[in-house]
Amino acid sequence: MTARLLDGEVVAARIRSQVAQGVSGLAAHGVTVGLGTILVGDDVPSARYVEMKHRDSAEVGIASIHEHLPADVSQGELDSVIARFNSDPDVHAYLVQLPLPPALDESAALLAVDPTKDVDGLHPVNLGRLVMGWPGPLPCTPAGIVELLHAYDVPVEGRHVVIVGRGITIGRPLALLMASKGPGLNAAVTVVHTGVPDLAEHVRRADIVVAAAGRAGLVTAQMVKPGAAVVGAGTSWSGRKLLSDVDEEVAEVAGWITPRLGGVGPMTRAQLLRNALQAAERCYAADRAG
């Protein structure tokens, strides 16, 4: 392998220690940062993700507030838990774990979350802030990807970034973030997806490729310009094996590459903790001002 590894575990550990410092700074003022989770039903991967978020929180001193609702919960009952989290001063930030069971209205649930407590950064108000270039909680995976590139001094400003995938959690907000005006951003961004016939031609022109389509092995070595940075953000499952959108052979061509495990995932989780801390800091500042 010739590519330099973009090691998300190393960078995320650094972020967690910064977050832990911020959390103890607030604790000195009597504030315990609280991260809430609402899990509906018994989807095993969702339960595991929520558990990991609580484990990460505990490591940096963030308190966990968890509500587990049965799969057949009514929309009204879910709404009332969301309303309770919105008004609970101990919950500084929280998320409704997706996907919800099909009988529930996912959009209604997400819209009901107080945008100031939206730890995912995916509330339409916060996505709107990103469109406008206003400060606000950033979506975790896009923010994590940008920070990972910066940590390894991958040039971004003025470079051509090709994002494969237009999903709401990664592709679309990442395009907005990387094209926005600001230090370490200002990129020329192209968004493509699996419906684009000459996908390979687009990817070949990229200085930075972000694969976020959720299709195993979609980005191959032949599609990558030698020396480009390649970030595997999309995953899919084959039985119990987690597969990357980036073929392993890309490491022979790329200048930088994320490992199959320990690349973007730890960065996403670290950004979630940072969003929770920042929500608590904003809340503390508002209380003092008010």
Please identify, using beta-carbon distances, which residue of 5 and 125 lies nearer to ligand GUN. 125
Member of 16, 31, 39, 97 binding ligand GUN (CB under 6 A): 97
Which residue in 95, 65, 99 sits closest to 82, CA to CA?
A: 95
CB-count burial class (<10 Å; 0-12, 13-18, 19+) for 290:
exposed
**Token representation of residue 280:** 């608590």
User: Amino acid identity of 147?
Assistant: E
**Residues 14-53, interacting with ligand GUN (CB under 6 A):** 49
User: Amino acid identity of 160?
Assistant: H
Rounded Cα distance between 123 and 110, Å, is 6
Which range touches ligand GUN (CB under 6 A), out of 15-23, 92-100, 193-201, 235-243? 92-100
Which residue in 101, 116, 209 sits closest to 165, CA to CA?
A: 209
Phi-psi label, residue 206: left if phi above 0, alpha if psi -120 to 50, beta otherwise: beta
Give me the residue whose beta carbon is nearest to ligand GUN.
Answer: 98
- Least Cβ distance, residue 32 to ligand GUN (angstroms): 22
Residue 288 carries which DSSP code? H
234 near 265, Cβ under 8 Å?
Answer: no
Per-residue contact track with ligand GUN, 106 to 125, x per CB under 6 A?
A: --------------x-----
Please identify, using beta-carbon distances, which residue of 96 and 264 lies nearer to ligand GUN. 96
Please identify, using beta-carbon distances, which residue of 86 and 190 lies nearer to ligand GUN. 86
- Least Cβ distance, residue 37 to ligand GUN (angstroms): 8
- Least Cβ distance, residue 78 to ligand GUN (angstroms): 13
Member of 12, 69, 95, 146 binding ligand GUN (CB under 6 A): 95
- Least Cβ distance, residue 97 to ligand GUN (angstroms): 5
24 near 279, Cβ under 8 Å?
Answer: no
Please identify, using beta-carbon distances, which residue of 103 and 285 lies nearer to ligand GUN. 103
- Least Cβ distance, residue 163 to ligand GUN (angstroms): 17
Rounded Cα distance between 101 and 129, Å, is 29
**Token representation of residue 261:** 């495990």
Please identify, using beta-carbon distances, which residue of 98 and 185 lies nearer to ligand GUN. 98
Interface with ligand GUN (CB under 6 A), residue total 7
- Least Cβ distance, residue 110 to ligand GUN (angstroms): 8
- For β-strands 160-164 and 93-96, DSSP reports them as unpaired
12 binds ligand GUN per the rule CB under 6 A: no
Rounded Cα distance between 212 and 244, Å, is 9
**Residues 135-194, interacting with ligand GUN (CB under 6 A):** 169
Binding site for ligand GUN (CB under 6 A): 49, 95-98, 120, 169
